[in-house]
Amino acid sequence: DSGVTQTPKHLITATGQRVTLRCSPRSGDLSVYWYQQSLDQGLQFLIQYYNGEERAKGNILERFSAQQFPDLHSELNLSSLELGDSALYFCASSEGTSGWQFFGPGTRLTVL
């Protein structure tokens, strides 16, 4: 158990819909990272927040957005969903702004 929690574990929705994925980092960790893992793209970094502020942006689509709240949990919002958004979405956390990360168990999103 890494100490990072993600909800829900599974999510099935339809194209065009909007969903919210939630992540709670390890106790004491200030950074939260979001990744998308798919068979064709591998593990892709989406975005990082550090202590409530956006720190780094990766290959995140404009339809996606994220935020980190004062209690340090984070949410990833995916809107206007397409079939190609079906993937595993991982959250990870670290103590500082970089370094090794602890991953959550992931949320499996299926868009039908």
Partner 1 sequence: AQSVTQLDSQVPVFEEAPVELRCNYSSSVSVYLFWYVQYPNQGLQLLLKYLSGSTLVKGINGFEAEFNKSQTSFHLRKPSVHISDTAEYFCAVISGGSYIPTFGRGTSLIVHP
CB 4 to partner 1: min, Å: 7
Residues that bind partner 1 (CB under 8 A): 2, 4, 33, 42-43, 45, 48, 56, 58, 90, 92, 97-106
Phi/psi class of residue 52: alpha, beta or left (left: φ > 0; alpha: ψ in -120 to 50)?
Answer: left
Whether residue 8 is preceded by a cis peptide bond, meaning omega within 30 degrees of 0, is yes
CB 28 to partner 1: min, Å: 16
CB 82 to partner 1: min, Å: 23
- Rounded Cα distance between 103 and 71, Å, is 18
Q: Which is nearer to partner 1, 75 or 103 (CB)?
A: 103
- Rounded Cα distance between 68 and 30, Å, is 10
Q: Which is nearer to partner 1, 16 or 110 (CB)?
A: 110
